[in-house]
Amino acid sequence: MPELPEVETVRDGLDRLVVGAVVRDVEVFREYSVRRHDGGPAGFADQLRGRRVIGAARRGKYLWLPLDEPGHEPSAALLAHLGMSGQLLVRDPAVAGEWAHPHLRVRLHVDGAPSGARYVDFVDQRTFGHLSVTDLAPTPDGAPGGYGSPLPALPEPVAHIARDLLDPALDRDLVVARLRRRRTGIKRALLDQTVVSGVGNIYADEALWRARVHFARATDAMTRPVAHRVLDAAAEVMTEALGQGGTSFDALYVDVNGESGYFSRSLAVYGQAGEPCPRCATPVRRDEFMNRSSFSCPGCQPRPRQGRW
DNA sequence: CACACGTCCTGGTAGC
DNA sequence: TGCTACCAGGACGTGT
């Protein structure tokens, strides 16, 4: 699943391979992939045609490409969320040949990409991802809108999303305070993108294992040091994953060149039910939680007496 | 057929 | 009591 490290891998790829390109044409093969957009797919295409991509920014799992507006400050961006299975593939058919990917949902035809690429393909099997063109609004704090953002601006649909753990403008003490004000379990809070963004099911489980904290630990009973330990662990595991190009155990995630990440080899608990905990060898346990799976080590992460599921 | 799960939306609750 | 902010859980969607 694309979480922060995977989305950052894609952002970095777009930054290097696509920024500077002009969108010549747009093909939408699946209307549902252009959700939340005035004018539908036709309006989407109209707003992109002729526009130059001037940056590649990310906050949490949201990714956007600010678009130039000659004579004005940029005020719009191509916004993308990869959902569970979305990919943005930068392609040059002269090198890699034409292809007909069964899950190709949207294709941007571009001119002038620094890589010489002609297509930016949005491929998405499970269709939880989507693209749209949205207005940019100034950030309340005047800082860049997100990681890699060339502007102190943010797409409107991202305004409610908190900064993420790789964002230099993130205030971790503030996140700890917000966590401890909540009356819920720590994993729920970590997955809530309005508290801190970028953490999904995989890295939540990995971070909690590293911090030796059970997923149901009540946030309002957590001390500041423990809350910091969890955030530090989350930042650490995501940074390591980023260094390896992300996680791709199910082959649904690949970077902009179609290459898989290697972090799946490093997962301690996620998807490891029954396997020995790398720290204490207790078999990893799988629980159903929030209509999804939760993996933890019963030895290192004992259930709290009064947890919040 | 159950399962994978990120986000949005809804209905309900807690607390002031 | 009334309001608001917060919280939990269902729906969405496709393919193995």
> What is the C-alpha separation between A171 and A99, in angstroms, rounded?
45
Distance of A129 CA from B8 C1′ (whole Å): 13
Q: Is A306 exposed, middle or buried (0-12, 13-18, 19+ CB in 10 A)?
A: exposed
**What residue ranges define each of the domains in chain A, with the CATH number in brackets?**
4-158 (3.20.190.10), 172-296 (1.10.8.50)
> What is the C-alpha separation between A78 and A110, in angstroms, rounded?
14
Per-residue confidence (pLDDT) for residue A251, from 0 to 100:
37
Nucleotide showing the shortest C1' distance to residue A127 CA:
C13
> What is the C-alpha separation between A120 and A124, in angstroms, rounded?
13
* Digitized pLDDT (tens) for each residue of chain A, 309 residues in all: 788 998 998 999 899 999 999 999 999 999 999 987 778 889 999 999 999 999 999 999 999 999 999 888 889 999 999 998 899 988 888 877 787 788 999 999 999 999 889 999 999 988 999 999 999 999 998 999 999 999 999 999 999 999 999 999 999 999 999 999 999 999 999 999 999 999 999 999 999 999 999 999 999 999 999 999 999 999 999 999 888 866 543 333 455 544 445 566 689 999 999 999 999 999 999 999 888 899 999 999 999 987 887
* SS3 annotation, A49-83: CCCEECCCEEECCEEEEEECCCCCCCCEEEEEECC
Asked if A49 is an active-site residue, the reply is: no
Cβ contact A61 with chain B strand, < 7 A = yes
Distance of A293 CA from B2 C1′ (whole Å): 13
Catalytic residue selected from A138, A181, A292, A302: A292
> For chain A, what is the total number of helices (H) and then of strands (E)?
7, 11
Catalytic residue selected from A61, A105, A118, A308: A61
Q: Which of chain C's bases lie under 7 Å from a protein CB? A: 6-15
Asked if A187 is an active-site residue, the reply is: no
Q: Sheet holding A153-155: strands in order across? A: A57-59, A62-67, A76-81, A130-138, A153-155
CB A162 within 8 A of CB A197: yes
Per-residue confidence (pLDDT) for residue A259, from 0 to 100:
46
> What is the C-alpha separation between A199 and A161, in angstroms, rounded?
12
Distance of A173 CA from C14 C1′ (whole Å): 40
Distance of A48 CA from B2 C1′ (whole Å): 40
Asked if A259 is an active-site residue, the reply is: no
> What is the C-alpha separation between A207 and A90, in angstroms, rounded?
31
Structure tokens at A156: 């409107």
| Cβ within 7 Å of nucleic strand C, residues | A 32, 84, 102-103, 125-128, 181-185, 188, 290-291, 308-309
Distance of A183 CA from C1 C1′ (whole Å): 25
CB A200 within 8 A of CB A165: no
Asked if A126 is an active-site residue, the reply is: no
Name residue, tokens 């997962």.
A267
